[in-house]
């Protein structure tokens, strides 16, 4: 679809600008409005930072491909982009996990919510998970740089992903596969923990007698649940497609990636 790239760049740029503007707006209001200094707002600021980093990390190559038809990228730039994309993705996944625990505490014990999740405790939790996300993906550029790649290396996306780059290696990549599986397992564990949190929340909701009370509790969690779906559905879909795409035609794989 090279002929349509100039037209496709318009909605793509618009979506990126909206994402960046939305994240910046959230950060601006949380910083300027003193009334918003509560645990949920701290988590929202963390989520906005990770969204901002993820958008800025993938934007340059997307624009180069669709605006200027510049389809090449150096290996170092590709590995750096891979690190930032996976790093911010891991950070966003961790924030969504923290937010699910936050919602469970708010529903299970609302009277002690502010005493359990103090500003200091929230800051410490955020820093721990941010450091965890960075160290989790830190080995990626180094273990993939040692591999040898074929002369003609074609990526399936307009940005570098570890599983996509790994498929182009001509040398032994077992270490990369094992470590990539470990990182994926960590993300899967976080998704399981989020699911357990919502099962516990649902159990509490079903125990509420009044219909109005149930709706009030569900309303507390609706926005976060939507954020979880928006984040995890594309990631899980891409992971499944990368796993089973070798059994389908190249046209189907390239079209849906």
Predicted local distance difference test score (pLDDT) of residue 234: 80
> SS3 for 24?
helix
CB under 8 Å to 200, separation ≥6 — which residues? 104, 108
Between 6 and 190, name the one with better pLDDT.
190
Complete domains list, the chain, with CATH: 75-256 (1.20.1070.10)
Q: Is the pLDDT confidence value at 140 over 60?
A: yes
Helix 75-108 to helix 119-137 angle (10° resolution) is 150
Q: What is the mean pLDDT of residues 219-248?
A: 74
Length of the chain: 257
Task: Tell me what the mean pLDDT of segment 96-102 comes to.
Answer: 88
117 alpha carbon, distance to own chain's centre: 24
Quick one: average pLDDT of 89-104?
Answer: 88
Confidence of residue 24 (pLDDT cuts 50, 70, 90): very high
Long-range pairs for 66-73: beta carbons < 8 A, 24 or more residues apart: 66/5, 66/6, 66/8, 66/9, 66/12, 66/158, 67/5, 67/6, 67/9, 69/2, 69/5, 73/160
- pLDDT at 251 exceeding the cut of 50: no
pTM of the shown model: 0.82
Confidence of residue 220 (pLDDT cuts 50, 70, 90): confident
Residue range 144-158, pLDDT digits in tens: 888 888 766 788 778
pLDDT of residue 245: 60
Chain Cα centroid distance, residue 66: 23
Q: How confident is the model at residue 196 (pLDDT cuts 50, 70, 90)?
A: very high
- Per-residue pLDDT tens over the stretch 165-186: 888 888 788 888 888 888 888 8
100-110 confidence digits (pLDDT tens) = 888 888 888 88
In 3-state terms the chain splits into helix, strand, coil percentages (rounded to 5) of: 80, 0, 15
Contacts of 49 (CB under 8 A, 6+ apart): 23, 27, 91
Select from 46, 88, 30, 245 the least CA-distant residue to 157.
245
DSSP 8-state secondary structure symbol assigned to residue 248: S
pLDDT at 56 over 80: yes
For the cut 80, the answer to whether the pLDDT of residue 55 exceeds it is yes
Confidence grade of residue 256 (pLDDT, cut at 50, 70, 90) = very low
What are the tokens at 208?
Answer: 């509420």
Whether 188 has a pLDDT exceeding 70, the answer reads yes
pLDDT of 21: 92
pLDDT > 60? residue 80: yes
DSSP letter assigned to residue 168? T
Any idea what DSSP says for residue 112? G
Q: 218: which DSSP letter?
A: H
Q: What is the DSSP letter of 209?
A: -
Residue-level pLDDT at 151: 64
Residue entry with tokens 């009277």: 111
Q: Which residues have C-beta within 8 Å of that of residue 55, sequence separation ≥ 6?
A: 16, 19, 20, 23
Q: Which is more confidently placed, 54 or 217?
A: 54
């Amino acid at each position: 679809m090279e002929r349509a790239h100039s037209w496709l760049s318009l909605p793509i740029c618009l979506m990126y600008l909206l994402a960046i503007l939305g994240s910046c707006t959230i950060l601006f209001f949380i910083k300027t409005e003193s009334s918003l200094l509560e645990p949920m707002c701290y988590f929202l600021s963390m989520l906005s930072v990770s969204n901002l980093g993820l958008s800025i990390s993938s934007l340059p190559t997307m624009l180069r491909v669709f605006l200027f038809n510049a389809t090449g990228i150096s290996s170092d730039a590709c590995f750096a982009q891979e690190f930032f994309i996976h790093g911010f993705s891991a950070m966003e996944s961790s924030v969504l996990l923290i937010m699910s625990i936050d919602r469970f505490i708010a529903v299970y014990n609302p009277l002690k919510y502010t005493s359990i999740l103090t500003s200091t405790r929230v800051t410490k939790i955020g820093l721990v998970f941010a450091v965890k996300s960075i160290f989790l993906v830190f080995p990626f550029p180094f273990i993939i740089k040692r591999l040898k790649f074929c002369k003609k290396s074609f990526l399936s996306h307009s940005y570098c992903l570890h599983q996509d780059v790994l498929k182009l290696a001509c040398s032994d990549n077992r270490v990369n596969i094992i470590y990539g599986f470990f990182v994926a397992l960590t993300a899967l564990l976080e998704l399981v923990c989020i699911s357990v949190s919502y099962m516990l929340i649902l159990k509490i909701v079903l125990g509420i007698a009044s219909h109005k009370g149930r709706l009030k509790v569900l309303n507390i969690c609706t926005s976060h649940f939507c954020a979880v779906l928006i984040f995890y559905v594309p990631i899980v879909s891409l992971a499944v497609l990368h796993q089973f795409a070798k059994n389908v035609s190249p046209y189907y794989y390239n079209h849906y990636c």
